[in-house]
Amino acid sequence: ITGDLSFGANTVEFGTTYTFTPTANDGYQITSVEGATANNDGSYSFTANGTDVSIVVTAKKLYAVTWSDPTGATISVTANGNAISNGAPVVEGTSISVTATASSGYAVTNVTANGTSIGTTSGTYTVNGATTIAATAKKLYAVTWSDPTGATISVTANGNGITSGATVVEGTSISVTATANGGYRLNTVTIGGNSQSGVSTSQAGSSTFSYTVNAATSISATTVKMYTVSWEAGTGTTVTCNTSGLSSGEWVDNGTTVSFTINLKSSYKDLKVNDNSFAGGTYSVTVNGANVNVKATATYDVSCLVEGTMIMLADGTQKAVENIVAGDKVMVFNHETGKYEVGTIWFNDHATDPARLRNIINLEFANGTTARIAYEHAYFDLDLMQYVFIREDNMREFVGHRFVTSTYNGTEIVQGETILVKAYVTEEVVKVYGPITEYHFNFIADEMLSAPSFNFEARGMMNIFEYDEDLRYNEEKMQADIEEYGVFTYEEFGEYMTYEDFCKAPIQYFKVAIGKGNLTWEQIELTLQYLAENQVTE
């Protein structure tokens, strides 16, 4: 201190004004003077007023604040609101404000003071020693992409979605998601020239990848068009896809070849695939710009009775079905009169067909009779009061039902009943036969009143009218049906058959069956054509 005072105790006179100038030592700065008033020249004054005066001078240490601009950014510092230059001293305890400004193509990612982060691009710091300011700037790189046909690409950086062409800081981890549209799958995903592994191959599948950006980054994806492959095994067919793991209705790549094994089941014929005749075996199809549906169909082999079945002749004796020929006289039941009578075999269908492996339906009745049929045959069911067509898929529905028996006692046919007690299937190599009688269609097989199966599912040719308990058509209801629906005349069938053949079947009543919805004109045409082509007389 210079002037009127010195450090320590000083004696002053009442009313006298004293002036002094404090000077800081090197590396310090006076920050306050208590007990005196500051003058413009840096000195301080006080006037003695009769009391003791205490003068307190405070000085604080000065510390240099230094920095150097990093590549890609400039640093600026202010203290007490004023910019300072690099290396300027700052009073201990001063709060400085630091800002790092990125150059074009860069982003500031961190600002530190004495190695401690004070912010991403700016911050404040209290100086309590020599202070070094630093900043980190990183290069910005563009991330670009365009959606491929059949897919979309989305990208996030730091948890936020970005658009194509946006820039991200060097070293940023981005998340890339490629999602295929319906009917497509992802094929490849490439990021920054690097093909990614683990790409989803599912239709409309999605895949997400992480990638660290260290240069301008381009993202791309490719897709494959997909189509569904479905298959259906119609009645009487088996369809097995030979492509491992592929289920019907699933998606495959366009251009994929899918192989199937397609065959007939026992008792079926005329195998077709998508309406085209097929011999059976391996069937292959290549997907070519459209969904694929493979449908196998077949017609059932209307072969009713297994060889060895006994047919009742007109005199009550029995004859094996394999020996029945056209013109044979057999016992039939006339539902218009309610009586048994002699009928004529129209023809014995499939008599010339070779033996082959078939599913045989075995029907065991309570009276000890076992009837053996192939695919389908009709018996008169007393519980339902109609002929029922028994097949492998419905045979157990009729267990417990009563069926009509017809036995010859040496004088006449005695009608009775028996219960179906068991139905099961065996697989055997056998010959089968389908006798049909003129007009009535029915006959007695193994002492059971039965009727043949029909081609083209034309089962409506039987059970045209309702039956009374004596198995005769109910006359009142029969007449009412005829009045409602009418009957066919020969003139309507002249182009299909002779009058003699017209009389061999109850064709006139088929019009009633059509009216009731049990038969179609197409089934009649197909059946008549089949009968004309397959009448085997010997």
Report pLDDT for 534: 59
**Measured between alpha carbons, how far apart are the two ends of the chain, in Å?**
151
Distance CA 49, CA 407 (A): 156
* CB atoms inside a 10 Å sphere around CB 209: 17
Q: What amino acid occupies position 449?
A: L
Q: In this structure, are residues 433 and 348 in contact, taking their beta carbons and an 8 Å threshold?
A: yes
Report pLDDT for 11: 83
| Structure token digits, residue 82 | 């004023």
Report pLDDT for 84: 96
Report pLDDT for 270: 85
Is 454 exposed, middle or buried, given 0-12, 13-18 or 19+ CB atoms closer than 10 A? buried
Q: Which residues pair with 191 in a beta bridge?
A: 194, 219
Helix (H) or strand (E) holding 291: none
DSSP state of 473: B
Query: In a 3-state reduction of DSSP, which class is residue 75?
Result: strand
Distance CA 138, CA 72 (A): 7
Distance CA 67, CA 100 (A): 11
Report pLDDT for 53: 87
- Helices in 78-203 by DSSP H: which ranges? none
Distance CA 434, CA 431 (A): 11
Longest distance between any two alpha carbons in the chain, whole Å: 172
Helix (H) or strand (E) holding 57: strand 56-67
DSSP letters along 127-161, please? -SS-EEEEEEEEEEEEEEE-PPTTEEEEEEETTEE
Report pLDDT for 7: 80
Nearest to 425 by CA among 457, 470, 393, 471: 393
Sheet hosting strand 44-47, strand order edge to edge = 2-3, 17-21, 44-47, 37-38
Q: Which residues pair with 239 in a beta bridge?
A: 262
Distance CA 407, CA 410 (A): 9
Q: What amino acid occupies position 436?
A: I
Q: Along the 538 residues of the chain, how does pLDDT read in single tens digits?
A: 787 878 888 888 888 999 999 999 999 999 999 999 999 998 999 998 888 889 999 999 999 999 999 999 999 999 999 999 999 999 999 999 999 999 999 999 999 999 999 999 999 999 999 999 999 999 999 999 999 999 999 999 999 999 999 999 999 999 999 999 999 999 999 999 999 999 999 999 999 999 999 999 999 999 999 999 999 998 779 999 999 999 999 999 999 999 999 999 865 778 999 999 999 999 999 999 999 999 999 876 666 899 999 999 999 999 999 999 999 999 999 999 999 999 999 989 888 888 988 899 999 999 999 999 998 899 999 999 999 999 998 999 999 999 999 999 999 999 999 999 999 999 999 999 999 999 999 999 999 999 998 766 678 999 999 999 999 999 999 999 999 999 999 999 888 888 988 888 899 999 999 999 999 998 888 777 776 665 543 3
- The CB-side HSE value for 334 (13 A sphere, CA atoms) comes to 9
Nearest to 108 by CA among 133, 79, 144: 133
Q: Which residues, 6+ apart, have CB-to-CB distance to 81 below 8 Å?
A: none
Distance of CA 288 to the CA centre of its chain: 21
- The CB-side HSE value for 47 (13 A sphere, CA atoms) comes to 3
Nearest to 378 by CA among 295, 459, 316: 459
Distance CA 137, CA 169 (A): 9
Report pLDDT for 537: 37
Distance CA 161, CA 192 (A): 18
Q: What is the dihedral of CA 374, 380, 385, 389, to 10 degrees?
A: 10
Distance CA 169, CA 368 (A): 93
Angle in degrees, CA 518, 520, 523, rounded to 5: 115
Distances in Å between the Cα of 123 and the Cα atoms of 71, 98, 100, 158 are 19, 5, 9, 22
Distance CA 33, CA 83 (A): 26
* CB atoms inside a 10 Å sphere around CB 343: 22
Report pLDDT for 317: 97
Report pLDDT for 536: 40
